[in-house]
Amino acid sequence: MNKVIRVFPHRNSFTPTDDMAFFEEPGLFIPDHDAVHVCCVFTWDIERCKKLQFQWQGRTDKSVLLDGPAFGNSGGEFIPGMYIRPGVTFTSRGCPNNCGFCFVPKREGKLRELSIQPGNIMNANNFLAESKSHRREAYDMLKKQKAIEFKGGLEAARLTDWDIEEMRGIKIRKLFFAADHDGAIPAIRKAAARLLAAGYKRDHLHCYVLIGDDMQKNEVRLLSVCEAGMMPFAQLYQPVERIEYSQEWKRFARLWSRPAFYMAKYNLRPGKAVG
């Protein structure tokens, strides 16, 4: 990894921060390297990544590879720190579900368990769908970590009492669930009730809520997550071909991604349900 320059179209909270990670065309001086990888996650970044590939090809006699999920790459074994910053880890790829709005199964296939690599930010697409033995290995790894966050979007319907007990034995800062459709709400309510009973507070429990089709119905689902005892985080749906949403939608998503807004509006406190 140390001899591979990785080039990304944008910097974000997950991109690497080492001296071999770049986010623009090459400057006057570039480090010694064996190869250059231009990494493209989203289809709407393809044109920029092609330009970056061309610019880097003009500055090196080494291979300049353009690849990533945007080109259908399903991903192999996870290499910590290579394309994601240190601390973030993946325990599996793919998903056993076939949700019509999600392209993960189409791109990565059914669930594939990966060798467990250390990290405190768990980012698998469906961690709770992994086998119990694999999850046990992951929980054992997490016992050595601090400020743990499950960021991938846990499927509430798959949460077991055993998982809750394992989670109680590690230092969790945040659990992120997913409520991508109205049918997910009953499982969210049940999971929240069990986790709150196990000692977690509202500020531990978060939930991605997919929005972008019907604002009124989306707000009902966001409120349902609040009422269940979790903190919603609105996410505008983006298919392979990027949707440019109106300012009204962007404002709605922004407000429902800020806990201070809905906590104040609905008179909530950490650990307190609506009403």
Confidence tier at 274 by pLDDT (50, 70, 90):
very low
Are 257 and 233 in contact by the 8 Å Cβ rule? The answer is yes
Confidence tier at 262 by pLDDT (50, 70, 90):
confident
Q: Are strands 112-113 and 92-93 parallel, antiparallel or unpaired?
A: antiparallel
Are 205 and 149 in contact by the 8 Å Cβ rule? The answer is no
Confidence tier at 1 by pLDDT (50, 70, 90):
low
Q: For 65-90, how does the pLDDT look when each residue is reduced to its tens digit (9 = 90+)? A: 999 999 988 888 899 999 999 999 99
pTM assigned to the model: 0.89
Task: Give every CB contact of residue 38 below 8 A, 6+ residues apart in sequence.
Answer: 7, 49, 52, 53, 56, 64, 65, 66, 67, 68
Question: Is 80 exceeded by the pLDDT of residue 271?
Answer: no
What average pLDDT score do residues 44-73 get?
Answer: 95
Sorted by where each begins, the domain ranges of the chain are 4-70, 73-266
Are 222 and 258 in contact by the 8 Å Cβ rule? The answer is no
Question: Is 90 exceeded by the pLDDT of residue 102?
Answer: no
Q: What is the CA radius of gyration of the chain?
A: 20
Sheet holding 64-67, edge to edge: 21-22, 4-7, 35-39, 64-67
Residue 247 CB coordination number (10 Å): 7
Confidence tier at 263 by pLDDT (50, 70, 90):
confident
* CA 35 to each of CA 21, 38, 83: distance values in angstroms, whole numbers, following the listed order: 12, 10, 14
Strands (E), 157-252: 172-179, 205-211, 231-236
